[in-house]
Amino acid sequence: MRITKEEFKQRLARKVRNYYEEEISEASNAELFAALSAIVRDGFAPQWRRTRISEKEQKQKQVYYFSIEFLPGTLLKSNLLNLGWLETVSEALEDLGLDLDTIATAEPDMALGNGGLGRLAAAFMDSLASTGYTGNGNGIRYKYGLFKQKFVNGYQKELPNDWLKSQDYWEVRRESKSVLVRFGGQVHMVDDNGWLVPQYEGEEVVRAVPYDIAIVGYQNGLTNTLRLWDAEIPPEGELNYPTIEDRRRIEDITSILYPDDSNYEGRLLRLKQEYFFTSAGLQSILNYYVKEIAKHDFSELPNYVAIHINDTHPALAVAEMMRLLVDKYRVSWDKAWNITVKTMSYTNHTIMQEALEKWEISMMSELLPRIMQIITEIDRRYVENLKNKVSDEVIERTRIIKDGKVRMAHLAIIGSHSINGVAELHTQLLETEVLKDFYNLYPERFNNKTNGITLRRWIQIANPDLSKLLDKTIGKEWRANSDEMLNFEKYLHNSETLNSLKKIKYDNKVKLAKLIKDRTGIIVDPKAIFDVQVKRLHAYKRQTLKLLHILHLYQDLKAGIDHPKRVVIFGAKAAPSYVFAKQVIKVINETANMINNDPDIHDKLKVIFLENYDVTLAEKIIPAADVSEQISTTTKEASGTSNMKLMANGALTVATMDGANIEIKDAVGEDNIFSFGLAKDEVYKYYASKSYHPRNLYENDAVMKRAVDSLIDGTIPNSNSEGQALFNNFLEDNEQFLVLADFSSYIKIQNKLEQAWAQERLWYQMSLVNIAHSERFDVDKTIKRYAKEIWHLNQLKIEKTK
């Protein structure tokens, strides 16, 4: 549905009058946002309804993406873009003396995720709709999103993120679709006409109420649904006279997002959350199937429904599906198992041991007695089936239950027909190292799906000037079809284009410099190299290596050795309980303070650690980056996705050959990336032979020693104990992230980068190549592979709106 400027202005005036009895000129920014978002909702409502009707008519197979995190950020501009209204609305507002970007600041950032995994889930939602598939999200409507980060004396402090305070403008509560989820109590199996069915006693009943969020496809008339569940007291009759305590316990289930990225916490409440949204989602899928598709013939289920398990948090879906099929719908175990495996697929996002979920049997039996029985039976049959086919060792290594614990990854693998990693190297490591027993058992289940990013958000919305340059050079087609971006490479020797690229980057840097000034009071020179590392704070991501480089540069400058001007920009939240990560934050903040205030340094080097890195802040930092730091210990970063966003915005990557960095290098060629560090085999050799002795490196390298010593010799003020902690960590025998092993290689590549920076034309040529080849990481390509190779979906036939 197209809109004209005049129509829009009329609608806006009407909304503001209806809602607030005001004229546009009197409305506050928050009021303007409320009115504008209402107009957008009215805009997609007809196509949301039409999509739902078409689904019922065409009965196409649908995917349900189960994820404990979704991290969409803000939706106003992305909905405007996807409706095809962005330009018109932006210009109309300008006519009225208003500014869309200002109005957009009133929208709270929907931070229902920690980092890469949650952001990927949100990108997949946007992409499923934009590529024309019917895909549904299934997750949790957390009352509090990921904490807001503040620095107090250089220490991280966490504040609650009360994003619903101002109401959510995009969600629709659908009480009629509520279901009940049961926890605890006792279960007895009783005979009912020859079928053993569970009888529950003393369990707690929770009402799951869905809130649906529209996911508007990119100018294609399709709108999908992201369904987030809220936990509430069940209606009268289910629970007699709930006390305040009962109410609190139930509402707690969807109260907070666990703030750990790639780290597992064995809390009961987390297990409750996992079962809550998994059970609610499956019940609502089966309700729909019974009503709209095939009554009680479940053998057809895999032809209509694909369920994706995003990491192991929703892995209970395997057992819950069995429970519903066997107990509720009375399908035989073998048939139900066959249906379950054909329906489920699973993505692994990490090889880090500490991230793997293992729930105590005792905890699971108490909270989910029937589910624990079912898992025990799945495990028993798994062992039984493999007896005499493979060695007992393989069975013990792969079975679900081991040492009193339920291994969730094993449940997901055994219960799914597809298991994928998120980058080529990661999948290869799953097959040959981490999951090699499973790979030998089920080689056909394993496949790779390299992650992607939505170029709609990261180029079209975040970098409008770059978008216009692409339009001008290669035409507008790239906005719908990213293959076209490869044509940008034809402009490699076009001076005008290279100059435009330089100007666009400079303008974006000026804007970011203003933000930095406003938030920190620090003035940075937009002509300096903007060197960016934005991601969660984690030892394996090695913000520490960047810190050592900063200390090295500082010491060089103090000693009269010159370097080009550089502004190092960090954005990173640490999990609140992650002590080492918080120590790193403190040391970086104190180092920044020291350098930024040292008159000898002037503005040769600045270190800026921006508070509260989230999607909204990413949209401001990434378009202004010259350098992208992707320096994880090789083998540890499953994929990474900030690497892709930065590349798409023309930043040059400094990269270890880890995760998707390898594929970035493949795409741009080795001359257009700065790669360094240990290779995968060298890392594994160190691990296998336990022969990494960082103290030897430190004693024999004066440059390294100088940088590392500055952590403990009083150079950096106010961080003695934290500096000492980092120092001890670096020098620990067999330190697992190999920071010092990569130090000199890192310094060398940074020197090479400085030389490239001095050759301006060359730099922007490299930048241009990176932009052109970011098409390889367009999430639409990733989603099409999932749709074709894992979910077996067909596109919904829907009329494109005029």
State the angle between helix axes of 76-83 and 29-58 in degrees (0 to 180), rounded to the nearest 10.
50
Site string for ligand Z16, 46-85 (x = CB under 6 A): ----------------------------------------
- In angstroms, the CA 574 to CA 613 distance is 11
Q: Min. distance of Cβ 637 from ligand Z16 in angstroms?
A: 5
Stretch that binds ligand Z16, among 18-26, 27-35, 42-50, 639-647 (CB under 6 A): 639-647
CB 40 within 8 A of CB 80: yes
Nearer to ligand Z16, 371 or 779 (CB): 779
- Identified catalytic residue from 207, 645, 773, 776: 645
**661 binds ligand Z16 per the rule CB under 6 A:** no
Contact residue for ligand Z16 among 74, 78, 88, 114 (CB under 6 A): 114
User: Quick one: tokens of 732?
Assistant: 């620990």
Interatomic CA distance for residues 17 and 27, integer angstroms: 9
Min dist CB 310 to ligand Z16, Å, is 9
Cβ atoms 520, 567 nearer than 8 A: no
358-360: strand order across its sheet? 358-360, 405-407, 401-402
Alpha carbons within 13 angstroms on the beta-carbon side of residue 599 total 0
The rounded distance, in Å, linking the Cα atoms of 106 and 102 is: 8
Q: How far is the CB of 664 from ligand Z16 (least distance, A)?
A: 13
The answer to whether 170 and 215 are in contact (CB under 8 A) is no
* CB-neighbour burial class of residue 306 (10 A; exposed 0-12, middle 13-18, buried 19+): buried
Binding mask 235-264 for ligand Z16 (x = CB under 6 A): --------------------------xx--
Cβ(695)–Cβ(729) under 8 Å? no
Alpha-carbon distance of 246 to 230, in angstroms, equals: 16
Active site residue 105: no
- 3-state SS assignment for residue 155: strand
By CB under 6 A, tell whether 639 contacts ligand Z16.
yes
User: How far is 209 from 217, CA to CA, in rounded Å?
Assistant: 25
Interacting residues with ligand Z16 between 545 and 584 (CB under 6 A) = none
| Residue with smaller CB distance to ligand Z16, 60 or 447 | 447
Q: Which residue has the tokens 């196409």?
A: 60
CB of 266 to ligand Z16, least distance (A): 15
Selected range binding ligand Z16 among 77-85, 95-103, 454-462, 636-644, rule: CB under 6 A: 636-644
- Do the Cβ atoms of 33 and 103 come closer than 8 Å? yes
Torsion of CA 670, 672, 678, 684, to 10 degrees: -70
Structure tokens at 176: 């009629």
C-alpha closest to that of 64 among 349, 284, 339: 284
Smaller CB separation from ligand Z16, 283 or 451: 451
Among 109, 357, 431, 637, binds ligand Z16 (CB under 6 A): 637
Closest Cα partner for 224 from 108, 157, 126, 308? 126
First-to-last alpha carbon distance for the chain, in angstroms, is 5
Distances (CA, A) of 772 to 15, 490, 582, 672: 42, 10, 37, 12
Verify whether residue 558 is a known catalytic residue. Answer: no
Binding segment toward ligand Z16, per CB under 6 A, in 112-120, 167-175, 387-395, 723-731? 112-120
Catalytic residue flag (residue 535): yes
Site for ligand Z16 in 342-361 (CB under 6 A): 349-350, 355
Encoded tokens for 90: 């932006």
Residues 6+ apart with CB under 8 A from 211: 141, 168, 171, 172, 173, 174, 227, 228, 229, 230
Nearer to ligand Z16, 116 or 154 (CB): 116
Q: Of the listed 349, 546, 549, 606, which one is catalytic?
A: 349
Q: In the bound complex, what is the minimum distance in angstroms from residue 117's beta carbon to ligand Z16?
A: 3
What's the min distance (Å) between Cβ of 423 and ligand Z16? 8
Catalytic member of 77, 148, 407, 541: 541
Binding test (CB under 6 A) with ligand Z16, winner from 106, 117, 206, 532: 117
Q: Exactly one of 27, 34, 120, 607 binds ligand Z16 (CB under 6 A); which one? A: 120
Beta bridge partners of residue 307, listed in sequence order: 64, 344
To ligand Z16, the closest distance from the beta carbon of 116 in angstroms equals 3
Q: How far apart are CA 353 and CA 69, in angstroms?
A: 20
Whether 536 is catalytic: yes
Q: Pick out residues in 601-630 that bind ligand Z16 (CB under 6 A).
A: none
Cβ neighbours of 403 (radius 10 Å): 8
Among 43, 72, 116, 723, binds ligand Z16 (CB under 6 A): 116
Query: Which one, 198 or 452, has the nearer CB to ligand Z16?
Result: 452
Q: What does the alpha-carbon distance between residue 105 and residue 108 come to, in Å, rounded to a whole number?
A: 8
Cβ distance to ligand Z16 smaller for residue 557 or 683 = 683
What tokens were used for 3?
């809109």
* Nearest residue to 769 (alpha-carbon basis) of 493, 482, 508, 530: 493
Nearer to ligand Z16, 78 or 427 (CB): 427
* CB nearer ligand Z16, residue 590 or residue 658: 658
- The span of 114-122, 394-402, 427-435, 718-726 binding ligand Z16 (CB under 6 A) equals 114-122
Piece of 108-116, 520-528, 744-752, 793-801 that binds ligand Z16 (CB under 6 A): 108-116
Q: Is 421 in the site for ligand Z16 (CB under 6 A)?
A: no
Residues that contact ligand Z16, how many (by CB under 6 A): 19
- Pattern 133-172, binding to ligand Z16, x per CB under 6 A? ----------------------------------------
Q: How many helices (H) and strands (E) does the chain have?
A: 32, 25
Q: Is 308 a catalytic residue?
A: no
Coil/strand/helix, residue 184: coil
Q: Which member of 141, 456, 535, 538 is catalytic?
A: 535
Residue 645 falls in the annotated catalytic set: yes
Segment 264 to 323, residues that bind ligand Z16, using CB under 6 A: 311
Select from 451, 672, 710, 774 the one that contacts ligand Z16 (CB under 6 A): 451
- 3-state SS, residue 17: helix
* Residues in touch with ligand Z16 (CB under 6 A): 114-117, 120, 261-262, 311, 349-350, 355, 422, 451, 637-641, 659
User: What residues are labeled active site?
Assistant: 349, 535-536, 541, 641, 645
